[in-house]
A and B are shown apart, each in its own frame.
Chain A
Amino acid sequence: MTAALETNGLGKRYGRRWALQDCNLSIPEGRVVGLVGPNGAGKTTLLHLAVGMLAPTVGTISVLGNRPADGPAQLARVGFVAQETPVYPRLTVAQHLRMAGWLNPNWDAELAESRIGRLDLDPGQRAGSLSGGQRAQLVLTLAIAKRPELLILDEPVASLDPLARREFLQDLMEVVAVQGVSVVLSSHLVSDLERVCDFLVVLTASHVQLAGEASDLLASHHHLSGPRLVGTLPSGIEVIEQTHTDKQSVLLVRSEGSLPFLDPMWSVKPVTMDDLVLAYMRQARGVELPARSPLEVLR
């Protein structure tokens, strides 16, 4: 099976600054991928590399088995919604659909029109006067109705209110259910991703810190709390994050397979996606920041 997205040693440099480095990912088709990280971590750079708006400085990237944007056929297979959900403000909703019909070989006019109707968008309204939520829905409609195999969405819900956000995600998941499209979705709202994503990529300081099937990642990480840790934990347990007081230790650990037997004094709790993302982001900050220049720290 071809991967939806595969990168090998991928890196992108702007001048002297690396926006993305040593990126090795292999994401199977049919997943909804959550790409998480702080602002400036390299999320948008990675997505722009995937749609071919940027070329790699080093390494390779392939999307659905091909080079990004390698000709009209490849362009038709990937739908992309940029962060600002750009529209042509003076064109109406209907004109957007007509233009998209001319530009996209697999355009599904029926799907587009039925979505616009269901979303209660007025076809005669100019796109410039739509609300943020309506605009996001219009742009998603354009991306979906071109019938892509992979949808790439850069912070699609960041500017939406909670209700519009939920409706957008409901809609997106319905599309995944019906069309079986793969999705890569960047966001820093982990609570949204937790619901919709089955594959997680944590990107911090231009490096991939964690990547894998969400269910595997959640099952292999645990919260431990107990008496102040002296000595070492059983082998097979990797400590991702730890805090200690004189009496107590609180750890977030990774353990492939089931957790080895621990003293009953230790309490073991499952982690949430939020815990996981934050722990890896903090871990990266602890390791990465001292080595970086002051300018980069400011970002």
Chain B
Amino acid sequence: MIEFQLDSGSGVATYLQLVQQVHQALQLGLLEPGDQLPTAQQVVAKLAINPNTVLKAYRDLEREGLVRARPGLGTFVVASLPRTDPAAQSRFLASMTSWLHKARAAGLGPDDIEAIYRTAFRNCFAEGVA
């Protein structure tokens, strides 16, 4: 069983923080198929958050095919998340680093680069936002 924590200053929606923590636990192998997630009652009794928030997070995880709710029993992990391919990670790190060098050579400072990254990141992931 995992325990959720909240970072109230992060600006990340509460249900999303729960989803991310389950993703992380799956990636790290802390959660495996068959494991049970805490019930909504357990989560809210600890974090003082709205139960609908927990249910919304669990519904999202269910839609991703990672967990399944079994009525009367609880919510269980049914799939594992593959760890990110290390080769792909190092390839993208290399291309990002070379991009950063080029941006710097063109006279962009750290703040400019961060603003560009944020904009691109937002544009890329905007569709997933409710």
Most chain B CB within 10 A, of A172, A173, A215, A218, is at A173
Return chain B residues, CB-CB under 8 Å to A269.
11
Binds A, one of B18-26, B45-53, B63-71: B45-53
Binds A, one of B76-84, B85-93, B99-107, B113-121: B113-121
- Contact call B44/A219, Cβ cutoff below 8 A: no
Bound CA–CA A198/B51 (angstroms) = 10
The smallest beta-carbon distance between B120 and chain A, in angstroms, is 9
Given contacts A178-B41, A264-B116, A267-B115, contact A173 B13 (CB under 8 A): no
Name A162-210 residues within 8 Å CB distance of B.
166, 169-174, 176-178, 191, 194-198
- Contact call A176/B44, Cβ cutoff below 8 A: yes
Bound CA–CA A172/B40 (angstroms) = 13
**B1 located at the interface, meaning its Cβ lies under 8 Å from any Cβ of chain A in the complex:** no
**B130 located at the interface, meaning its Cβ lies under 8 Å from any Cβ of chain A in the complex:** yes
**A242 located at the interface, meaning its Cβ lies under 8 Å from any Cβ of chain B in the complex:** no
Name A250-299 residues within 8 Å CB distance of B.
258, 264, 267-270, 272
**B14 located at the interface, meaning its Cβ lies under 8 Å from any Cβ of chain A in the complex:** yes
Given contacts A191-B8, A218-B13, contact A173 B122 (CB under 8 A): no
- Contact call A195/B49, Cβ cutoff below 8 A: yes
**B129 located at the interface, meaning its Cβ lies under 8 Å from any Cβ of chain A in the complex:** yes
Return chain A residues, CB-CB under 8 Å to B53.
198
- Contact call B48/A166, Cβ cutoff below 8 A: yes
Given contacts A173-B50, A173-B51, A178-B41, contact A219 B130 (CB under 8 A): yes
**CB-contact partner of B129 in A32, A170, A173, A258, under 8 A:** A258
Q: Size of chain A's interface in residues, with CB distance under 8 A?
A: 29
Closest to A226 in B: B115
The smallest beta-carbon distance between B83 and chain A, in angstroms, is 29
Most chain A CB within 10 A, of B11, B14, B49, is at B49
Bound CA–CA A176/B50 (angstroms) = 8
Q: Size of chain B's interface in residues, with CB distance under 8 A?
A: 27
Closest to A267 in B: B115
- Contact call A264/B115, Cβ cutoff below 8 A: yes
- A interface, over-half SS: helix
The smallest beta-carbon distance between A134 and chain B, in angstroms, is 18
**CB-contact partner of B48 in A170, A264, A272, under 8 A:** A170
Bound CA–CA A166/B46 (angstroms) = 9
Return chain B residues, CB-CB under 8 Å to A169.
48
Contact code string B33-63 (vs A, CB < 8 Å = 1, else 0): 0000001110011111111111000000000
Closest to B39 in A: A177
Return chain A residues, CB-CB under 8 Å to B126.
258
- Contact call A170/B45, Cβ cutoff below 8 A: yes
Bound CA–CA A195/B7 (angstroms) = 11
Return chain B residues, CB-CB under 8 Å to A172.
48
Bound CA–CA A197/B50 (angstroms) = 6
Given contacts A174-B41, A264-B119, A267-B115, contact A198 B130 (CB under 8 A): no
Bound CA–CA A174/B47 (angstroms) = 10
- Contact call A174/B116, Cβ cutoff below 8 A: no
- Contact call B8/A173, Cβ cutoff below 8 A: no
- Contact call B122/A198, Cβ cutoff below 8 A: no
Q: Which residues of A contact B (CB under 8 A)?
A: 30-32, 166, 169-174, 176-178, 191, 194-198, 215, 218-219, 258, 264, 267-270, 272
Contacts A/B (CB < 8 Å), 7 sampled: A32-B50, A170-B45, A173-B51, A191-B8, A195-B49, A267-B118, A269-B11
